[in-house]
Amino acid sequence: MRTGAAVALLAAASVLTTFVGHPVAHAAEVRAETAARRVAVGQTFTVEVTAILDDGDGSAQGPKLPIQGAAEVSGPSIFSQRRVVMRNFDVTTENNVVATYEITPTQPGRLVLGPGSFTVDGRRLEANTLTVEVVEGPAQAAPPGRTRRRDPFGFGHDPFGQDPFGQDPFGRQPTDPPSQSPFDLFRRRSGLSAYPDAPAELALPNAPNDIGFLVAKLDQPEAVIGEPVVLSIYAYGARGAFREVSPTEPALSDFLSYASVETSHEQPFYRTEIQGREFLVVKLRELVLVPLRAGQLEIGSMRAILRGRGYPSKNSPLGTLTESPPLRLPVREPPQTDRPPGYRLGDVGRFELAATVEPREVEQAGFFSVKLSLSGRGNVPGSIDMPEVPGVVWGEPTVRGEVSVEDRELVGSRTLEFTVRATTAGTIELGKISLPHFDPATERYRIATAALGSIHVTPRAGAPAPSQDPSPSTAQPGEPTLLLAIEPRTNKGAWRAARSAPPVWGLAAAVLAPGLVWLLLLVPTALGALGARLRSGRSKQRHLDFGPLIALEKEKGRAELARELEQIAYRLIEEKTGLRARAILKEHLAARMTQAGLLGQLASDLQALLIELDAARFHVAGSTEAEASLAERARPILLSLWKAPSARKDTP
Amino acid sequence: MSKRSLTIALFSFWTFAAFGAPSTEDPELAQAKVEISEGKLDQAIARLESAADTGEVHPDVAFSRGVAYLRRALSERAKPGDHGQATAGFRETLLLRPGDQEAALALEQTRLAVARKSATRGEQVQDTLGLGERALLWLDPWVLFWLSVGASALTTLGVVLVRVGPRSAKSAASLLAGICASVLLVSAPLTWLAATTAESLDLGIIIAERAPLLDEAGRARKGVAPLREATEVRILESRGPLLRLSFGEGTSFVRADQVRRLRLPR
């Protein structure tokens, strides 16, 4: 019995030792948490997807949170924390990577969140799926982001967590930025003085906004194509600590971009004073940009919401929306002077080149390898022009290596491995490889070179004898030989360097000249007509003087008098009525003149006078008395007509 | 003298008359020619491209560059886009010197070679320039201008004779004025159109084997065939890494590095 009891005790101790004495293997896991179970439409709540990693685990990357249902999602914002955990009397450290999503439902119904996941060591680990019910109604205060705050010491419960009365002992609001250490809370409580002072370059003369704003800076005012420049974007906030939410990255379409700071979550906050007001400042982004073309290149604005307790919802329900002003960077080509042949725009930096060739002896039509190692600071090129060497054919290179940012500088290396075919037998001098590039530090061109040496190509049995023609340019079968017959030129012939358009004034003159000449030729005719008209106007009967008429009658006779009187009568009729009375039968004249507005009696008298004058012109009859009476008879009638008001209409 | 010799002689006279005195040998071009003849095509191309990078615009430099690219396109070391680069060189030559017959021949033959290559793959080279634009680019505004001036002078003479000339010459003068006025009415607008087209058109040549047509965001447009190498395109604007092209009735985008813009003095 005693023996049996001893054996049982030993077995129990062994089991206890197994499960208690040795640490339990703890694999990486992913959890998803939210406090929200029932929210209103428009009410924002947070979901945290946490990757819990032990010391031996790799890094957690690529958080994902698929969502089924109508909702707007922002994030994730990612931060990591390191904790000391005691499990079964074994103290271990644990790294947590937390991805926080902010979700605002837009329609009532049900939201299915997840499974949230992270990629850990190449495997995608998934968390549990969460379900949140969305109801109609006014938005309420956002629920806490987490149901259970992780304690910083690994006791499994946060000693500073919610108190039994449901209040945060430090009065922290649910929307506060997540604390990265328990001391952050004390630091916030004690004001901004707990933060270190900002470096001098972050000091600003004035603040564009009293609450918060973004500032973008370049480390140099101008650049050449391919020269790296550093873009730093800082967030300034005057209402205490904040974190960036829903960032929109700046548009950089004219640049290659390499990030050295991708998020502000692990960046330190500094305190600075602007016009007597304290601000916290943190670096949001730091990018090394490589301009791709010349000109005034635009760097777009970055937008981010500053979220924190003191940051009001300004243009966004999540916090204060801020935007950095866009920048313009003047970019030019490297100088033309001393530019070496073969320089390619964009090769800017300081590079070194090394080359290895192996094997050095190959059979004709065999292959050998040329490996180029290119390294240095700057935008390390990914290709190199290989030399023209008769007797070898270069293949396309295999390129390895990359460029990264180190201490705000682009550094990197690339290896280009060429497979080369030797086509002719003999010793082939491979020459050297050159990489002309521009060093912005010295503002001069450099040429990185590497000698390739020579290879010996042994003839292959049955291979054709080496060609004496050094040219590797041979026409493909079937290609038209006409193309190969086109020879390059050696002379720069004259040409119209200024491809100027013909002068518009010349063209206009050519078009208008015939018309103008035509008009000029019409001028004499027009002037003649105008003169006649003027003369006609001038000859208007200003007064009737019968003295000369009587004299005329005596000198030239009755017929001449009649003609003159008739002309006076017709002129006055035309003047007063517009009628050309000569063209009207005398019998109808009175009626027409009456129609034209003359008094009926006057019209009748005129008709009778004109008939009489007509007769007098062609019939020599009567005595001198009678002749004298013609002028006397005409006088009152013509005077009446002369005095009569004008009845002339617009149309004759 | 054969007809061909007469043509060459006339052409030479025209070239001399139009473009001035004969030229002297240029050391860079001569060196490039030596390199091309020795098969050092990359060196020759680098030399000629370097000249272009310095901002030099000259029809003979562009022609030699086209020849260098063409030789490489026909060699074992051909690179994608060589045919397009050659086309660009010859086209630039023709735009700078419209009467260059050798460049016209080289351009035609290079395009034929590209068309032949495309046809073997069952692809077709598209033309993105309209017939009107093509015709206006072909016309020389200065020739049209002097034609307009001549027609204007003869029309004026006819008008004068009609008005003040002897009665016997009036019929002939009317006929002369009518015909010349008609010529003037056609040539003057054409002069203006050709000049403005040559000034405003921003042309380029596709230098990739295939340049996919993209939308504004740089995504490939579905159901649209890519532009083939050596296609001449009209560039409307540059938007970052993309170029907006006039494409038939609409517009489309391609990557800027797949197009070589033709350089013309403005």
pLDDT in tens, B17-44: 444 445 577 888 999 999 998 888 888 9
Q: What is residue A9's predicted lDDT score, i.e. its pLDDT?
A: 46
Q: Which residues of B touch A522 (CB under 8 A)?
A: 163
Percent of chain B with pLDDT over 70: 86
Task: Give the end-to-end CA distance of chain A in Å, rounded to a whole number.
Answer: 157
Would you call A388 and B55 a contact, using CB atoms and an 8 Å cutoff? no
Q: How many CB pairs under 8 A join A and B?
A: 197
**A469 to chain B, minimum CA–CA distance in Å?**
9
CA distance B165 to A65: 96
> A376: which residues sit within 8 A by CB, 6+ positions away?
A349, A350, A351, A352, A411, A412, A413, A448
Instruction: Pick the residue from chain A with its C-alpha nearest to B40.
Output: A388
Q: Which residues of A touch B113 (CB under 8 A)?
A: 479-480, 483
Would you call B106 and A486 a contact, using CB atoms and an 8 Å cutoff? yes
**B102 to chain A, minimum CA–CA distance in Å?**
8
Q: Tell me, yes or no, if A25 comes closer than 8 A to chain B by beta carbon.
A: no
Kindly state the tokens that stand for A222: 């101008």
CA B227 to centroid of chain Cα atoms: 19
Instruction: Write the pLDDT tens digit of every residue in A227-265.
Output: 999 999 999 998 888 888 888 888 888 888 888 888 888
Kindly state the tokens that stand for A152: 């910083």
Evaluate whether B242 touches B195 at the Cβ level (below 8 Å).
no
Q: Which residues of B touch A393 (CB under 8 A)?
A: 76-77
How confident is residue B62, by pLDDT bands cut at 50, 70 and 90?
A: very high
ipTM: 0.71
Looking at chain A from residue 313 to 372, which residues have their Cβ under 8 Å from any Cβ of chain B?
A: 333, 336, 339, 341-343, 345
Instruction: Look at residue B148 and tell me whether its pLDDT is greater than 90.
Output: yes
Q: Which portions of chain A are predicted below pLDDT 70?
A: 1-27, 55-57, 83-92, 137-193, 461-482, 496-500, 535-544, 619-629, 647-652
CA distance A478 to B120: 13
CA distances from A372 to A252, A410, B101 (A): 32, 20, 45
Would you call B46 and A254 a contact, using CB atoms and an 8 Å cutoff? no
CA distances from B147 to A566, B143, B161, B166, B180 (A): 62, 6, 21, 28, 10
Task: Give the three-class secondary structure for B44.
Answer: helix
Instruction: Look at residue B209 and tell me whether its pLDDT is greater than 80.
Output: yes
Residue B127 DSSP code: -
Evaluate whether A73 touches A63 at the Cβ level (below 8 Å).
no
Q: What is residue A609's predicted lDDT score, i.e. its pLDDT?
A: 87
Would you call A486 and B159 a contact, using CB atoms and an 8 Å cutoff? no
Q: Which residues of A touch B105 (CB under 8 A)?
A: 486
Instruction: Pick the residue from chain A with its C-alpha nearest to B142.
Output: A502
How confident is residue B12, by pLDDT bands cut at 50, 70 and 90?
A: low
Q: Kind of pairing, strands A38-40 and A130-135?
A: parallel
Q: Which residues of A touch B60 (CB under 8 A)?
A: 489, 491-493
CA A629, A632, A634, A636 dihedral sign is negative
CA distances from A393 to A106, A389, A451, B86, B209 (A): 64, 8, 18, 22, 22
Instruction: Look at residue B207 and tell me whether its pLDDT is greater than 70.
Output: yes
Q: Which residues of A touch B76 (CB under 8 A)?
A: 393, 472-474
Q: What is residue A228's predicted lDDT score, i.e. its pLDDT?
A: 92
Q: Tell me, yes or no, if A388 comes closer than 8 A to chain B by beta carbon.
A: yes
Would you call B29 and A345 a contact, using CB atoms and an 8 Å cutoff? no
Q: Which residues of A touch B97 (CB under 8 A)?
A: 493, 495-496
Evaluate whether A274 touches A106 at the Cβ level (below 8 Å).
no
Q: What is residue A138's predicted lDDT score, i.e. its pLDDT?
A: 54
Would you call B23 and A494 a contact, using CB atoms and an 8 Å cutoff? yes
Would you call A491 and B60 a contact, using CB atoms and an 8 Å cutoff? yes
Within 13 Å, how many C-alpha atoms sit on residue B11's CB side?
11
Instruction: Pick the residue from chain A with its C-alpha nearest to B69.
Output: A488
Interval B143-160 mean pLDDT? 92
Would you call A480 and B113 a contact, using CB atoms and an 8 Å cutoff? yes
Kindly state the tokens that stand for B17: 């008359």
Instruction: Write the pLDDT tens digit of every residue in B234-256.
Output: 888 888 888 988 876 678 899 99
CB crowding B134-150: b at 16 or more within 10 Å, else e? eebbebbbbbbbbbbbe
